[in-house]
Structure 1
Amino acid sequence: MNPAARRVQRIYLILLLGNTLAASFIWGINTLFLLDAGLSNFEAFAANAFFTAGMVLFEIPTGVVADTVGRKASYLLGTITLSATTALYWLLWLWHAPFGWWALVSVLLGLGFTFFSGAVDAWLVDALTFSGYTDGLEAVFGRGLVVTGIAMFAGSVLGGVIAQATNLGVPFLLRAGVLVVMLVFAAVVMKDLGFTPDRSQGPLKATRTVLAESIEHGLQRRSVRWVILSAPFASGVGVYAFYALQPYLLVLSGDPSAYSIAGLAAAVLSLAQVAGGVLAPRIRGVFHRRTTTVIGASVTSIVVLIALGLTSLFWLAIVLLVLWGFVFAVAGPVRQAYLNDMIPSKQRATVLSFDSLFGSLGGVFVQPALGRAADLWGYGTSLVIGGLIELIGIPFLFASRRQRDPADTVSTLRADAAPQDPEAY
């Protein structure tokens, strides 16, 4: 890796470090925070569903910002929005506000995250290409997972400990503060290398153009389409399981007030993520095709999730949690690299946002449904049901594999991942 590409990677990793540290202060206690504010399980996960609904609503408009104004501008807007809405979340908890206010602010939180989705990865890939980087993307995305895993470990442990020592609201204030620091850092160091914003269209026309390009380079290309269509099942279940494991582990431990155990759940996942990020490129190298890695990890994730729901032993749940986090982390960089190598540079942020949109759609429907299942039958049963829902996405991954796209076996970054096979459409 040359010095210019190394600097791009370093900025990317620092952005991930700061963002994940800020977010992870509340990851270990978010569900407990919502329940402490007076929400039921159904309302807590419905609030999360409104968050993902916000991501669905705003993915395309914010994709316009990333592809027409700039990736840096999109990142800065996301940081400002997230810091403000996190502070509002703290106020709602303080006031024990009714559910309607939680729904509204959750939608605005979703808006903040849509400014990030697609834009940061697109900034990285474009800047690496501009800097002359030609190696595989799995290595860079894998390092990203290692950094986010370390940040997640530190933030989730601190968040749980601080919540237990003070109250459940303090980690949210810490999150808002770190986001302000990241805003200043990105304003100084980020530059849109290898990307020239197209500002020739007005916002409404640009939105229509972005939507049309998302469909053309996403849903109309079969190898990309099937990967995107698998996202609602894996993402919806994954987000629910992450947050449901907080109170579930407290139930298994026998101490419902041990908030540090909730932080431990996120910390355990972060360590598994570090291991997965380190080993993802090596595991990918064992298999000829990227889809083999993704499908294998997905099937393993489903089996482990069902086992998690069936166990009544705290220590076994921790072991299964480590395994679940590891296979999730292995699949992530490989899936990212597979998608990026199938998308042209000009539409990269747009299609990645479109993929995120479909993942968010899963969260809109899956989270409240599984939250209701937890109210009726317990967290364990809801996790088993979640595993069965995730299973629905596996045939879509096999359908993408059957297209035999060159990106399924490619190992080097291409500046423009335009289709090479007319049968890909």
Structure 2
Amino acid sequence: MNKYSASQIYLFMVFMMSLASSTIFTTYSIYYVTELGLSPFQLVLVGTVLEITVLVFEGITGVVADTYSRKLSVIIGMLVLGCAFILEGSIIWIMKLPELLPAFGWLLMSQILFGLGWTFVSGADTAWIVDELEGEETGKLFMRSKRFALSASLLGIAASTGLSVISPNLPFLTGGVVYLLLGLLLIRYMQETGFTRREREPHSSPLREMGRTWVSGASVLRQHPLLLLLTVVTLFNGAASEGYDRLWQIHLIEGVGFPDTALSMAAWFGLISAAGVLLGLAAVYFAEKTNELQHERKVSALLFILATVRMCCIVLLALAPDFWAAVAVVLALGVIQSISDPVYTTWLNAKLPGKNRATLLSMISQSDALGQSAGGPVVGYIGSRVSVRASLLTAGVLLLPVIALYGKVTRKR
């Protein structure tokens, strides 16, 4: 398998995952709030269960990818994700059956499956493509993949908006089918030539082999102060992002309110998401032309600036006086995230050893899950007891340690 085809499969995988994700999540709050009747605390609790699942399984699945096969890990993840979202979309029908779990119980079960599937994909997909390309031009590929993801999001936004008008659960069912199809296609077309499976020691069990891989990855993490620092950054970043990600839509629905027009909530969310994607595409294109990803201090300075602006935007969203001001801030936050993701991914992967890459990425992802599972309930409780605005303010304050740590990295030689 040549490098060109590996890149194409990776871009196709990113495109399809983004298509499925945007189809599901563009209008997910309509399903959660209007059909399932979730409160702000329940909304964040859903995310907390997801992140606890990621926290528990991320290290295990990352070791599987480094010990046995990155391809196998990715395919398992796609199939499990498909089942999770199909279950989630079916809750509206399951809840009508007698003597079964309440809707919220089924929703939590789907989140456990979601988290499990995600941990199989997380880290393994990035480790796979970096190995296939042998580290060459990965920065350009990650930037390009972000443009592919944003382009697919436009299609997903349109699909989500249209499907939600028919029935709020259809985006979940459609996205789940896309994940299942992607998993089946990867079984046929995804190759693995850059990964060498570890040789087993005589009389060594699979669990012992996985343990060796995890210990090796943990040793690398302990010996690199920068990686430990980034793990702490990820912890606080996760705590802040959970509150914003789960509550900005309900803030528009119940806190700010939509303009009195003929457009439905689904149409408004579709328009907001589409505008965010277009602005994100422009921002990524500009960053791709001007940013030098090989210079550590320049990248850390950029991440410091982006984190600072992000905190200010979340606070402004909490204080937004009307719908249009709130939407402007949401769009700005989308642009910031579009630039941050590929920059951070490129910078991080350049510092990770190949044989432990998936394990280390999983460990850092565990830090994010810990932050979200610990900080999310606090932010959600504030939303239920005080207001959603207070929750968003809390989420903004939680970014202060992230800004301080990025500043420390920037000041280092």
Query: Are 1:275 and 2:282 an aligned pair?
Result: yes
| Deviation readout 1:84-112 (Å, 9 max, x if unpaired) | 11121123233342433332331221000
Query: What's the RMSD between the two structures over aligned residues?
Result: 2.2
Q: CA deviation at 1:149?
A: 1.1
Query: Is the CA contact 1:126–1:345 (under 8 Å) kept in the aligned structure 2?
Result: yes
Q: CA deviation at 1:292?
A: 0.9
Query: Are 1:162 and 2:163 an aligned pair?
Result: yes
Match of 2:232 in 1: 229
Q: CA deviation at 1:337?
A: 1.4
Aligned partner letter, 1:393: V
Match of 2:128 in 1: 123
Query: Are 1:249 and 2:252 an aligned pair?
Result: yes
- Listed as ranges, the matches of 1:295-314 within 5 Å are 295-314=304-323
In the alignment, structure 1 segments of 5+ residues that lack a partner are: 405-425
Distance 1:365 1:265, change over 3 A: farther
Query: Is the CA contact 2:301–2:406 (under 8 Å) kept in the aligned structure 1?
Result: no
Distance 1:84 1:161, change over 3 A: same
| Deviation readout 1:1-58 (Å, 9 max, x if unpaired) | xx94332221111000111111111212223322321332211220111011111111
Query: Is the CA contact 2:47–2:242 (under 8 Å) kept in the aligned structure 1?
Result: no
Match of 1:188 in 2: 188
Aligned partner letter, 2:7: Q
Q: CA deviation at 1:125?
A: 0.6
Residue identity over aligned pairs, in percent, reads: 25
Query: Are 1:326 and 2:335 an aligned pair?
Result: yes
In structure 2, what is the Cα distance between the partners aligned to 1:229 and 1:107? 25
Q: TM-score by structure 2 length?
A: 0.89
In structure 2, what is the Cα distance between the partners aligned to 1:30 and 1:366? 22
Match of 2:99 in 1: none
Q: CA deviation at 1:331?
A: 1.8
| Deviation readout 1:293-326 (Å, 9 max, x if unpaired) | 1111111111111111111222222222222111
Aligned partner letter, 1:241: Y
In structure 2, what is the Cα distance between the partners aligned to 1:15 and 1:203? 29
Aligned partner letter, 1:175: G
Q: CA deviation at 1:403?
A: 5.2
In structure 1, what is the Cα distance between the partners aligned to 2:144 and 2:40? 35
Match of 1:105 in 2: 110
Distance 1:145 1:65, change over 3 A: same
Query: Are 1:266 and 2:273 an aligned pair?
Result: yes
- Listed as ranges, the matches of 1:49-88 within 5 Å are 49-88=48-87
Aligned partner letter, 2:271: L
Picking from 23, 26, 29, the partner of 2:24 is 26
- Listed as ranges, the matches of 1:364-403 within 5 Å are 364-401=373-410
Query: Is the CA contact 1:33–1:93 (under 8 Å) kept in the aligned structure 2?
Result: no
Query: Are 1:214 and 2:208 an aligned pair?
Result: no
Match of 1:350 in 2: 359
Query: Is the CA contact 1:16–1:148 (under 8 Å) kept in the aligned structure 2?
Result: yes
Q: TM-score by structure 1 length?
A: 0.87
Q: CA deviation at 1:156?
A: 2.5
Query: Is the CA contact 2:66–2:359 (under 8 Å) kept in the aligned structure 1?
Result: yes
In the alignment, structure 2 segments of 5+ residues that lack a partner are: 96-101
3-state SS in 2 of match to 1:195: coil
Query: Greater CA deviation, 386-395 or 253-262?
Result: 253-262
Query: Are 1:90 and 2:89 an aligned pair?
Result: yes
